[in-house]
Structure 1
Amino acid sequence: MVKKIVIREFDASKDCMGVEDVERRCEVGPSGKLCLFTDLLGDPICRVRNSPAFLMLVAATADHDDILGMIRGCIKTVTCGKKLSRTPKTTIHHAAADHPTKYVPVYTKLAYILGLRVSPAHRRMGIGLKLVEKMEEWFRENGAEYSYIATEKDNVASVNLFTEKCGYSKFRTPAILVNPVFAHPLPLSQRVTILPLSRSDAEILYRSRFSTTEFFPRDIDSILNNHLTLGTFLAIPRGVYTHDTWPGSDRFLLNPPHSWAVLSVWNCNDVFRLQVRGVSLVKRTLARTTRVLDRAFPWLRLPSVPELFKPFGLHFLYGLGGEGPEAGRMVKTLCGYAHNLAKEKGCGVVATEVSARERVRAAIPHWKMLSCEEDLWCIRRLTEDFSDGSVGDWTKSPPGLSIFVDPREF
């Protein structure tokens, strides 16, 4: 006899243990590859808590209130396209009047679904579909125009649920690039200067150069001011500016050097931990050997495998981009700097997610065995009513060169 199932809002006072139990039994990872287990550090809703609007739903039995599944969702306003500017942008940053932008962003209210889980013993009962439909009701009630999800392209069950039953279409295929944190710090290019930016300078730079990038969050200031953002760092050729001569982003943008790059670091270590499972004893022993050799002979700078078979933390690199012929070298140096910061904080890996067409992608250090070369984003149009008709249906738009990945949803 099929139990009656109810979909309701997550109640932290009674649902935490049930949710954690389902999470433990739903190990996630591409089939045939290393399996990642996610530990949400006792806060099942932590991965959406920093978003402007968020909700978590659970599927529970009507009689004993046993948790069988859950889903998380959030809503934000992002860039979905761009249009020609008829007047100079004088309200976004101080330098705009002297450096007019040809295009301005077109925003839309976007919803994101993540953390859909159904207990293995209760799959193929329509629970996942009910959770998605209930979450989409909340999206519409709160004015979202689109909904999207990210999943592994070879997760057949997830892809079929969203594309065949929920009306989503395949939209973008970014790459998740993961690099291990070694026992030794990485050397940085002596030809590059790295400057930490203030939050106000970081916001000016991002809004000036990245606001028309697809998925750019309009509340970028909230992300930069969040306690999980450890800093924003700018790479420029050595000799252009120092910490003492930095003029601020306003003046920098008036006359930037021939090449530069930027990124921000988000501390996922305080949100969740990961653990690699499904690895043979032989491979574990080999990984341990590389760490021993790296610590014993640090000057050799061996590519050691960190301890990933116990819970480990990560730093996520977001807002990564740059301009100029040497932007790739600048990005590589910034990634090395971020690696060394992650080493100081005790993280196991650093990760980022970039568009399949991102120009500086080749310069981002990563290990293929830890990375996902082709993640899959699927999208659905929730409403026919658009505030700006200049973009049309976003779901039918071709991909751009870059995307802006919100660290709150990684």
Structure 2
Amino acid sequence: MVDNSDLVVVVREFDAKKDVREVEEVERNCEVGPSGKLTLFTHLLGDPICRVRHSPLYLMLVAEMVVTKGQENQRTEIVGMIRGCIKTVTCGKKLSRNGKNLKPLPVYTKLAYILGLRVSRTHRRMGIGLKLVNAMEEWFRDNGAEYSYIATENDNQPSIKLFTKKCGYSKFRTPSILVQPVFAHQLRVTRRVSIIKLSPSDAETLYRCRLSTTEFFPRDIDSVLNNKLNLGTFLAVPNGLYDGESWPGSEKFLATQPESWAVLSVWNCKDVFKLELHGASWACRMFAKTTRLVDRVLPWLKLPSVPELFRPFGLHFLYGLYGEGPNAVKFTKALCRFVHNLAKERGCGVVATEVASREPLKLGIPCWKMLSCTEDLWCIKRLGEDYSDGSIGDWTKSRPGLSIFVDPREF
């Protein structure tokens, strides 16, 4: 045993040249979160900063345990890490007069996000997590962030206690993470719907026109849509409305839009990280394998099969879901079937999305309850004065809307 007086914890910036191996070891031994009796683990594919590096500002810190014995013997060990990023997002809206009409405009704020907080199992309850959070928040303030938020499972009591009791965060939003397995067979997409792939510029125009006042909408949406991990933005409209050459562009589309339509974008998490379920019983594994075999041998039965989730698997993340009209839910369902087939072609195990708990389009998003999280928890903290424009006051006290925009760079 090493006496506590011989232990020193140093928080420093991650060094990609020497820290990768130790960081990956800590990551491998830390579960992401519970899924019933199963445990989800993450594989970062050799890039520990992958989940934040696509944001405008980002940082990764590590907690290094320095063990000293006398003045000559000294060894170090990485026992924890934390990642953070900063961007500008919508935190509310204000009304501005446009001619005779009042037009809602977004109110922006500089928002920080903490993710990937990990502490080695053998070094927990030693204050290391708190030390990492405090160091990251200091960097947030130095870079002008006005708010900081985190996402955690609603039953992860150690994480909730750390942030709400010790770090001053308050419970803010409870979105739902919806996960659909990718089956061995293609899903049928109704012929009543045509699906059009939009250019990044058309997608940006559409999103800024319809979602710019939605909470957490990133002001740099153009960077998201032009990122190499973005697989495309797909618009569902009534069949026959446009042929291959008649797409008028988003501005004209919105000026003469059909009664119902829906849109979403797809982010390729498969090339960033992979997930793996641990803790499944032998019987559970055999059942899953049997469903896959039956699905391959008798594909015309369209039986739902359990993909191989007990080895590292990739996922596609759906974001920017929006629709209008009485059939928007049906159009959303058609889009989800389309992106399921896209994920199958690219070898993914699941398709996932995250939406507000009261999202109207939620009914059109297929999911398996055993893989999903019906109530994720977002906690928020005000780091300083709100410098946006003073029109919304304290964002932490605002009421939730029907929708939120979940940035795929932070999933």
**How does the TM-score come out when normalised to structure 2?**
0.96
Note if 1:67 corresponds to 2:99: no
Distance in 2 (alpha carbons) for counterparts of 1:219 and 1:271: 21
Distance in 2 (alpha carbons) for counterparts of 1:257 and 1:385: 40
Match of 1:251 in 2: 252
Match of 2:69 in 1: none
Gap regions ≥5 residues in structure 2: 67-73
Alignment of 1:168-207 (within 5 A): 168-207=169-208
Residue identity opposite 2:32 in structure 1: V
Relative to structure 1, the CA distance from residue 385 to residue 320 in structure 2 (aligned partners, 3 Å threshold; closer, same or farther) is closer
Matched residue of 2:360: which SS? coil
Matched residue of 2:276: which SS? strand
Alignment of 1:17-28 (within 5 A): 17-28=21-32
Alpha carbons 1:31, 1:154 under 8 Å: kept: no
Residue 100 (structure 1) shift: 7.7
Match of 2:114 in 1: 113
Residue 24 (structure 1) shift: 1.2
Match of 2:391 in 1: 390
Residue 242 (structure 1) shift: 2.2
Alignment of 1:3-402 (within 5 A): 3-30=7-34, 32-62=36-66, 63-87=74-98, 102-402=103-403
Residue identity opposite 1:308 in structure 2: L
Residue 86 (structure 1) shift: 2.4
Residue 101 (structure 1) shift: 7.3
| Stretch of structure 1 that moved more, 195-204 or 100-109 | 100-109
Residue identity opposite 1:46 in structure 2: C
Alpha carbons 1:19, 1:44 under 8 Å: kept: yes
The total of aligned residue pairs comes to: 400
Residue identity opposite 2:83 in structure 1: R
Gap regions ≥5 residues in structure 1: 89-98
Deviations 1:293-332 (A, max 9, x none): 0000111000000011111000000101111100000000
Residue 230 (structure 1) shift: 0.4
Residue 240 (structure 1) shift: 1.6
Deviations 1:6-51 (A, max 9, x none): 0000001111111111111111222643211100001111100100
| Stretch of structure 1 that moved more, 24-33 or 123-132 | 24-33
| Stretch of structure 1 that moved more, 263-272 or 239-248 | 239-248
Relative to structure 1, the CA distance from residue 67 to residue 174 in structure 2 (aligned partners, 3 Å threshold; closer, same or farther) is same
Distance in 2 (alpha carbons) for counterparts of 1:31 and 1:368: 10
Distance in 1 (alpha carbons) for counterparts of 2:224 and 2:52: 13
Alpha carbons 2:386, 2:393 under 8 Å: kept: no
Residue 243 (structure 1) shift: 2.3
Relative to structure 1, the CA distance from residue 385 to residue 245 in structure 2 (aligned partners, 3 Å threshold; closer, same or farther) is closer
Residue 385 (structure 1) shift: 4.3
Residue 56 (structure 1) shift: 0.2
Alpha carbons 1:193, 1:242 under 8 Å: kept: no
Q: More strand per residue: 1 or 2? A: 2
Matched residue of 1:287: which SS? helix
Relative to structure 1, the CA distance from residue 274 to residue 101 in structure 2 (aligned partners, 3 Å threshold; closer, same or farther) is farther
Residue identity opposite 1:69 in structure 2: G
Distance in 1 (alpha carbons) for counterparts of 2:41 and 2:388: 41
| Stretch of structure 1 that moved more, 233-242 or 367-376 | 233-242
Match of 1:94 in 2: none
Distance in 2 (alpha carbons) for counterparts of 1:185 and 1:385: 49
Relative to structure 1, the CA distance from residue 111 to residue 391 in structure 2 (aligned partners, 3 Å threshold; closer, same or farther) is same
Residue identity opposite 2:108 in structure 1: Y
Residue 362 (structure 1) shift: 1.1
Residue 245 (structure 1) shift: 1.0
Relative to structure 1, the CA distance from residue 20 to residue 191 in structure 2 (aligned partners, 3 Å threshold; closer, same or farther) is same
Matched residue of 1:336: which SS? helix
Residue identity opposite 2:43 in structure 1: D
Match of 2:70 in 1: none
Alpha carbons 2:108, 2:388 under 8 Å: kept: no
Residue identity opposite 1:76 in structure 2: K
Match of 1:91 in 2: none
Deviations 1:117-154 (A, max 9, x none): 00111111100000000000000000000000000010
Runs of 4+ residues deviating >3 angstroms: none
Residue identity opposite 1:78 in structure 2: V
Alpha carbons 1:186, 1:339 under 8 Å: kept: yes
Matched residue of 2:132: which SS? helix
Matched residue of 1:58: which SS? strand
Matched residue of 1:319: which SS? strand
Alpha carbons 1:31, 1:155 under 8 Å: kept: no
Residue identity opposite 1:59 in structure 2: A
Distance in 2 (alpha carbons) for counterparts of 1:329 and 1:31: 29
Matched residue of 2:87: which SS? strand
Residue 65 (structure 1) shift: 2.7
Distance in 2 (alpha carbons) for counterparts of 1:54 and 1:190: 44
Relative to structure 1, the CA distance from residue 335 to residue 118 in structure 2 (aligned partners, 3 Å threshold; closer, same or farther) is same
Residue 61 (structure 1) shift: 1.9
Residue identity opposite 1:5 in structure 2: V
Residue 87 (structure 1) shift: 3.4
